[in-house]
Amino acid sequence: MPIPGKVVELSELPALVPERATVAFGGAWFANHPMAAVRELVRAGRTDIAGLALLGSIDVDLLVGAGVLTDLTFSMVTMEAMGMAANFRRAGQSGELATTEVSAISLQLALEAAGRGVPFLPLAGPEGSDLVPLHPEIYGRASTSFGDEDVMVVRALRPDVAIVHASRCDELGNAQFDGTYGQDPELARAAAKVIVTCEEIVSGDRIAETPERTRIPGFLVDAVIEAPFGAHPCSHVPQYAVDAWQLLEYQEAAADPEAFAGYLERLRGETEAEYRARAVPGDRGAVLSALVDAANVLER
């Protein structure tokens, strides 16, 4: 009996995310965020998602600005050299967005515990931090039968959905990364449902040629979506670099709520293909690819 494929269209993604689901978004800093998926959730008008982000940037800020998130568990949200994440900052300061701040290593271990199927994992810290008494639902203490002293532990965290962006997938969900992949494999192991957007869908034979690049095996994946430039304006090395021009345009809009309303109106009024044609025309894509090549030469 043949195994059914998992390939769906990007427009189907919002229906794959249950109402009031906790959704973990992959990527870190300005790299590999599943931006095509983020944009599609914005287009769908979702307003009921609990977000989870390790090192969020424009993905989180856009979701917050569009009203997609009801709350957010995070370790950092930053626009790096571009400045503050304006929508995130406004929503946090006004109390419009409920937030749970957890240290990066704590959040990583909480996800790893879920992926390993254990209720918690120990960590050396953050002893003395205000985060510990603020979040007794996350931090605890435990001892073992070995006779050692109590140690701090972090409770397993199992998102309802994880969305990550990969270099390529086959129709069974085997996901490969040519460059960095951060915590994405851990997100996939921890989540109850995994959606992978990718630059291209290829045959199983193509995946088998470089098995060492398969960081997320297909048995963990529920849906695969082909989304070229799906991390844009973030980088997806070695395919393309960060699009600083688009990030600056975003920052200018996000700084002013009225201007950002216009930014959202344009985004909601176009398909992902139309977005790609506008934001990543042929010459821009070639430049972003060339920037990666230039960086490789400079490193040598």
Residue 300 inside a domain? The answer is no
The chain-wide mean pLDDT, for the chain, equals: 89
- Mean pLDDT of all residues in 289-297: 59
Q: What is the pLDDT of residue 297?
A: 40
- Mean pLDDT highest for which of 91-105, 115-129, 159-173, 274-288? 159-173
pLDDT at 7: 92
pLDDT given for residue 285 in this prediction: 64
Q: What is the mean pLDDT of residues 28-44?
A: 94
Statement to judge: residues 54 and 142 lie in one domain: no
The pair of structure tokens assigned to 49 is 């998602």
| Per-residue model confidence (pLDDT) at position 287 | 67
Supply the pLDDT for residue 291: 67
Asked whether the beta carbons of 61 and 254 are under 8 A apart, the reply is yes
166 with 273, same domain: the answer is yes
Percentage of residues in the chain having pLDDT higher than 70? 93
Whether residues 185 and 145 share a domain: the answer is: no
User: What's the pLDDT score for residue 1?
Assistant: 37
Q: Judge if 148 and 189 occupy the same domain.
A: no
Residues 81 and 187 occupy one common structural domain = yes
Quote the pLDDT of residue 80.
Answer: 87
What's the CATH number where 254 sits? Answer: 3.40.1080.10
Same domain, 79 and 141: no
Residue 255 phi/psi, 5° resolution?
Answer: -65, -25
129 and 236, same domain (yes or no): no
Taking residue 156's Cβ as centre, other Cβ atoms within 10 Å add up to 19
Q: Based on the domain organization, do 253 and 127 belong to the same domain?
A: no
Last residue of a domain, one of 112, 133, 155: 155
Cα Rg for the chain, rounded, in angstroms? 19
Q: Is 70 exposed, middle or buried (0-12, 13-18, 19+ CB in 10 A)?
A: middle
Is 179:149 a contact under the CB 8 Å cutoff?
Answer: no
Considering the domain architecture, whether residues 80 and 97 belong to the same structural domain is answered as yes
pLDDT band at 151 (very low <50, low <70, confident <90, very high): confident
Extract the tokens encoding 210.
């470089």
Tell me the pLDDT tens digit for each residue of 217-234.
999 999 999 999 999 999
Looking at the structure, tell me whether residues 177 and 267 fall in a common domain.
Answer: yes
pLDDT for 300:
41
Among 111, 138, 155, give the residue marking a domain's end.
155
* Assigned domain for 109 exists: no
What is the number of structural domains in the chain? 2
82 touches 248 (CB < 8 A): yes
pTM of the model: 0.90
Query: What is the residue range of 125's domain?
Result: 121-155
**Residue 227 covered by a domain:** yes
Tokens of 268: 């909601």
At 98-119, the pLDDT tens digits run: 999 888 899 999 999 999 999 9
In a domain, 110, yes or no: no
49 & 76 share domain = yes
Q: Is the pLDDT of residue 48 over 60?
A: yes
Q: Are 194 and 166 in contact (CB under 8 A)?
A: no
Q: Is residue 112 part of a domain?
A: no
pLDDT of residue 129: 79
Domain check: are 132 and 243 in the same one?
Answer: no
* Tens-place pLDDT, residues 1-27: 345 679 999 999 999 999 999 999 999
Asked if pLDDT for residue 288 goes beyond 80, the answer is no
4 within some domain:
no
